[in-house]
Structure 1
Amino acid sequence: MMCGTTDQGPGGEQEAGDTDAAFSSLLEDSVEELYEQAPCGYLSTLMDGTVAKVNATLLDWLGLSRDQVVGRLRFADLLTVGGKLYHETHFAPMLQMQGEVSGIALDLKAAGKQRLPVLVTSRVKTSDDGEPLLIRTTVFDARERRAYEQELLRGRLAAEAAHRQAETDRARLQEALAVLQRNLLPAELPKIPGLDAASYYHTASPDLLGGDFYDLFPLDAGRWAFFLGDVCGKGPQAAALTSLTRYTLRAAALHDPDPETVLRTLNTVLHERYTRGDTRYCTAIFGVLQPKGEHVSVHLASGGHPPALIQRADGTAAYLPTPGGMLIGVLPDAPFTSVHTELTRGDTLLLYTDGLTEARIGPRRDLYGEDALCAFAAAQPASGPQALVTALTGLLAGFGKGLDDDTALLALGAPAPHPTSATGEQGLT
């Protein structure tokens, strides 16, 4: 067997030539078909905008024939009024300056006067010496994109409406919570002959009901009862417990105002009410005041609450210890401790909740603490309850984010004597 090349002769050369011609024809048909049936629109325009060539895809979108477009219309004529205005003021100038503009959103005039949203990219074709010859434009159907954008817009508008409604609902909730919170506290402290009083309430969160409470009310012609405390938790359950605690203390005081007896009554009520299920408790100080001439007699008892602080007229400050007082509502027979003291002219008795002493301060977020509070009170002029509460209000504001719990203040004191007059006589209260 001999191996080698085969001489095709004249017939073989003719067959190869026919194959090349067929392939060239097929290639030309394929390119033209791709242009005409492309998924996007193609058109070429002269430099004045007159359409010189357009594919079938774009003609189908417009609902026009080739004879209606080629040589008769400019590209701008295919646009809506708004699209034509944008083309003349922005699109065409940018194309002239840059030679190419990509991804511009326009609207075509489709059959039946319908708007066809499209994205347009145009490029200027130039000659070898840089002279502009024609403009080639590609048009992408943006109906799905426009529908998607409209859906996004609808979603955004719905979200904004929901946000506005949520803000409205939140404002209403805060207003309702503020009203409820005010109802858990006295609207104002009563005026008591021979006694000054001041109070303050700091709300850590406007969205949650706090559990701090206080009150000052008459027992009889010469005695006044006061209390301040803190229930566990936040929100509606804490508000319900606060309401129950306040009214129980008031009712118990009118029946028997002895401080230890009042706290024992409250303990019984809370323990029986919350003995099953979710255990609830509170801390509280309850006391009785009786102005007597130049001084005020104080008898108070504490149930697990931070000790009361006395700022004396001589510039000193000290806590009034009540050791042994248990949390109220935890045990069926909790022990409570009472103490007696007297406030002389210029002395102030301060009751507070632990939001004050448990505030976080400094870079290490240390507890503010009772020692710091005592030192602060001693450093303030002995100018009465309102002056001390005002100073403490400024202190609380200075804690900033370190104050993350509600804080209640109640200050009571015997009025300080009036300054000595020019004649050397002391004014009367």
Structure 2
Amino acid sequence: MTTPESGFSSVTDAQRMYDMAPCGYVTVAWSGTILAVNRTFLQWTGYTAESLVGVRTFVDLLSRATAVYSETHLRPMLLMGSSVREIALELVCADGSRLAVLLNASLERADNGEPEVMRVVVFDASERRAYERELFRAKERAEASEAHARLLARTLQDTLIPPSPPQVPGLEIAAAYRPAGDGEEVGGDFYEVFQRRAGEWVVVLGDVCGKGVDAAVVTALVRYSLRAAVVERESPAAAMDLLNRIVLDHDTDRFCTIVLMYLRQSDRGWVADVCTAGHPAPVLVQPGQAPHAEQAISSLVGVLDDPVFVDAHLELAPGDLLLLYTDGVTEGRRDTDFFGEERMHASIETHRVSAAAVVAGLLADVLDFQRGRTTDDLALVALKVPEGV
């Protein structure tokens, strides 16, 4: 009888434990020749002891790729550390099939310190390898699904942002949109410039709270509802009131901020009626004057049953420039610092030569401030009455 104190009752018991262990044992001379194997290893691989012991090297039993790894990594690691653990290898069985294994090994040295024998323990890792392959396939499927979602998001975003503003006689118009971060997530910022009737144009810029598909759905609702509202209502404030009812009736808890502007050409330039619904006020830049906000803030859209929307009346003379922007500009962050209105006004002042220069310059300044990665999506629309109009 075997007890912890007495050890094995006989050499036969020890041999049986060695042979029938739930892992493979292989003793390998440092030269590579197999010196001993247990029965478990033989059962897994289909070899006989006579075909291996003193006849084959351990490397002979490895697939080509793992044989190279054994020679270039396993043996050097044993020389440096005397033992290795959980080395993934692939055995070629007697019938040619492959068996994934994990290998632990230790190195015994002769009295003179030279490497003499490797004691190798082999664990069947075929089920683990199958599990890893399934994980890898699942990862590939998830990555493909994510890539498809990003493509859909990009396509959806492209439908919400016009590729370029239209050409309006007697008015410079420039616009830009920049999504947050790496640009893969759909944002809620949008802009639009379109003709309301002969000689009259509409400019709208807005920001639906949140991101993702839900925000995009509300953005699409707001954008197309506004197109209908401006046809029915003679003032931006009235159109905004109609839009507010539409958003409240929609099954969403998202709200939005909007700047809506009716523009018409006059003898002295352009006349603008502007409703700013909870949104940052447009910035007016006139020759010889510093940029300043045109304050006339109304209620948010999609929050109150009885909101207050008011229009501001602006006259834009030749040389005047008006900038509409979303809060992704002023709230752009670098560490704990915000880009802010002061930097925005300085950028506008620097690039005020044209609408296109203001948009391109301000966008570049915001990106540079945030080291090229925006913390929020942002949209810009600049209007300038050319000199001599």
The correspondence for 2:137, drawn from 161, 165, 168, is 161
CA offset digits 1:128-149 (Å, max 9, x no partner): xx7x9xx777564x2xx1x22x
Contact 1:42 1:58 in 2 (8 A): no
Quote the offset at 1:208 in angstroms.
2.7
Partner of 2:3: none
Query: Kindly tell me: are residues 257 and 84 of structure 1, through their superposed partners in 2, closer, same or farther at Cα, counting changes over 3 Å?
Result: closer
Cα distance change on mapping 1:375 and 1:139 into 2, 3 Å: closer
RMSD: 4.3
Q: Which of 274, 288, 292 is matched with 2:266 structurally?
A: 292
Tell me if the contact between 1:122 and 1:137 (Cα under 8 Å) persists in the aligned partners.
Answer: yes
Matches of 2:92 and 2:188 in 1, distance apart?
Answer: 67
Give the whole-Å Cα distance in 1 for the aligned partners of 2:295 and 2:143.
Answer: 47
Gaps of 5+ in 1: 1-26, 418-428
Tell me the distance in 2 between the aligned counterparts of 1:297 and 1:76.
98
Matched, 1:347 2:312: no
Deviates more, 1:288-297 or 1:33-42: 33-42
- Where do residues 15-414 of structure 1 align in structure 2 (5 Å cutoff)? 32-33=11-12, 36-39=15-18, 75-77=54-56, 81-82=60-61, 140=121, 142=122, 145=123, 147-148=124-125, 150-205=126-181, 206-274=183-251, 278-314=252-288, 316-323=290-297, 325-361=298-334, 363=335, 365-377=336-348, 379-400=349-370, 403-414=374-385
Distance 1:328 1:48 in 2: 78
Which residue of 2 is the match for residue 15 of structure 1?
none
Query: Shift of the alpha carbon at 1:124?
Result: 7.0
Q: Distance in 1 between matches of 2:91 and 2:352?
A: 83
Q: Is the 8 A contact 1:212 1:353 kept in 2?
A: yes
Per-residue deviation at 1:404?
1.6
Report if the CA contact (8 A) 1:196-1:415 is conserved. yes
Which deviations, in whole Å up to 9, do the C-alpha atoms of 1:77-120 show, x marking residues without a partner?
47684569979x969xx89xx8x986799999988888898877
What's the offset of the Cα at 1:322?
0.5
The secondary structure found in structure 2 opposite 1:340 is: strand
Number of corresponding residues: 361
Judged with a 3 Å threshold, the aligned counterparts in structure 2 of structure 1 residues 32 and 58 are, in CA distance, closer, same or farther, namely farther
Alpha carbons 1:306, 1:352 under 8 Å: kept? yes
**TM-fit CA distance, 1:160:** 3.1
Q: 1: distance between equivalents of 2:168 and 2:192?
A: 13
Distance between the aligned counterparts of 2:18 and 2:117, measured in 1? 16
Q: TM-score, with normalisation over the residues of structure 2? A: 0.76
- Taking the aligned partners of 1:200 and 1:237, their CA distance within structure 2 comes to 23
Shift, 1:213, TM fit: 1.5
**Bigger helix fraction:** 1
**CA–CA distance in structure 2, aligned partners of residues 76 and 251 of structure 1:** 87
C-alpha displacement at 1:164, in angstroms? 2.9
Q: Is the 8 A contact 1:310 1:348 kept in 2?
A: yes
Q: Distance in 1 between matches of 2:356 and 2:339?
A: 22
Per-residue CA shift, 1:10-38, capped at 9, x if unaligned? Answer: xxxxxxxxxxxxxxxxx9x9664356445
Determine helix, strand or coil for the equivalent of 2:197: coil
TM-aligned CA deviation for residue 391 of structure 1: 0.7
Distance in 2 (CA, whole Å) between partners of 1:394 and 1:283 is 24
Does the aligned pair in 2 maintain the 1:195–1:291 contact within 8 Å?
A: no
1:154-212 superposed Cα distances (whole Å, 9 cap, x missing partner): 33333333333323222221121111111112232111110110111110153432111
Which moved further from structure 2: 116-125 or 293-302? 116-125
> Is the alpha carbon distance of 1:101 and 1:371 closer, same or farther for their aligned partners in structure 2, counting shifts above 3 Å?
closer
User: Alpha carbons of 1:167 and 1:263: their partners in 2 closer, same or farther (altered >3 Å)?
Assistant: same
Counterpart residue identity of residue 324, structure 2? L
SS at match of 1:39: helix
Q: Which amino acid aligns with 2:159?
A: N
1:14 aligned partner: none
Residues 332-386 of structure 1 show CA distances to partners (whole Å, capped at 9, x for unaligned) of: 221112111122222211001111112224x5x1333334322332x31431211
SS of equivalent residue, structure 2 residue 176 = strand
Q: Does the C-alpha gap of structure 1 residues 335 and 82 become closer, same or farther in structure 2, counting only changes over 3 Å?
A: same
Determine if contact 2:257/2:278 at 8 Å carries over to the other structure. Answer: yes
The amino acid across from 2:255 in the alignment is Y
TM-score normalised over the length of structure 1: 0.69
Distance 1:159 1:345 in 2: 65
What is the rounded CA distance, in whole Å, between the counterparts of 1:84 and 1:216 in structure 2? 66
